[in-house]
Amino acid sequence: MKNSLLLAFTSILISILLTNSATSSNELNLENEQEEVIKFSDVEKPPFYIDWCTSNISKDKIRECTDSGIKLFAKTNYNTEIAADLNLSGYQRITSAFIIDKSGKIDNIRVRASHPDLEKEALRVINLIPKMEPGRQNGEAVSTSYLLPIIFKVQSDSLSQSKKNPILNIVDGDNVEVPFSTVQNVPIFPGCDKGNNEARRKCMSQKITKFIKKEFNTKLAGNLGLSGRQRISVIFKIDKNGDVVGVRARAPHPRLVKEATRIVNLLPKMKPGMQLGKAVVVPYSLPIIFQVRSQSNKNEAYEKSKSKFLKNGWNNN
């Protein structure tokens, strides 16, 4: 009898332990499922698309840059000819959503399309999106949800009604910025169209430096009572039309800021930078550095020259 009661008690105890173990496991899974995911449009600091966005981009432009970069990546890599091979016609819409997790990787991809092969292609492309810096909320890395519509139209060719040419013409990536140091084809400054990309990059830098040196009024600093080494930091962009836009400058005096801005805005129109065959915005940083001698230093240099001349005569050697 005692043995029977002991076995019954032991069975009940094991049952309770298993139940508690299952409950704990379910609670743990539930916490994982309820991990906070914030919409891309709402997260305080959006994910940063390292491969596309320049490092010195302003905080208010990160969301726009990352958004444009993802869309352009999809536009460039999605094989729309699949739709023609499947004898589809008209507008095709692939609705996709994914999460950029706390480590910046793409996760939990979901796709819906009119044909399984279109879904498969969308999955392939999204899985190729490079790792990013994760979004942040209250200073902490968070998972961010992103919705990516891929829309294109399969049109009949005018020369052959049986042939269809897919045109991916909705996804927009016109606002992508690519650093001057990494853009595939640098903007071409007038007179710098020869040589490879590296030669054009070097030529452009030299031409801009020469232009600034020629046009900048360095006497302005002396007239403002400044002396010693002066540094003016200038940032501007060459837009997708080749125009200089968004000039910003920082200097020891507002008049120097004004002069730097005036000169940079005089730079000629260029051929725009290109990335993956598409015109893109290219930011450019330009330090303007020059030395201003104080009046006492000028007088001292004059007296030394005068003394040397009176003693030895003028010697060009």
Relative to beta strand 140-156, strand 37-39 is parallel
User: Alpha-carbon dihedral of residues 307, 308, 314, 317, nearest 10 degrees?
Assistant: -160
The whole-number pLDDT of residue 164 equals 44
* CA dist., res. 40 & res. 183, Å (int): 26
Tens-binned pLDDT, residue by residue, of the chain (317 aa):
444 444 443 443 333 333 333 333 333 332 334 578 999 999 999 999 887 776 667 777 888 888 888 888 888 788 888 888 888 888 888 999 999 999 999 999 999 999 999 999 999 999 999 999 999 999 999 999 999 988 887 765 433 333 444 434 333 344 567 788 878 889 999 999 989 988 999 999 999 999 998 998 888 888 888 888 888 889 899 999 999 998 888 888 889 889 999 999 999 999 999 877 788 888 898 888 888 876 554 445 445 544 444 444 434 43
Q: How many CB atoms lie within 10 A of CB 223?
A: 10
Whether this prediction's pTM lies above 0.85 is answered by no
The whole-number pLDDT of residue 42 equals 92
Q: Could you tell me the fold of the domain covering 197-297?
A: TolA/TonB C-terminal domain (3.30.2420)
Q: Could you tell me the fold of the domain covering 59-167?
A: TolA/TonB C-terminal domain (3.30.2420)
Q: Strand order in 244-250's β-sheet? A: 244-250, 228-238, 282-292
Q: Which residue spans of the chain are classified as CATH 3.30.2420?
A: 59-167, 197-297
Name 283's Cβ contacts closer than 8 Å, sequence gap at least 6: 54, 56, 57, 177, 179, 180, 235, 236, 237
* CA dist., res. 248 & res. 220, Å (int): 19
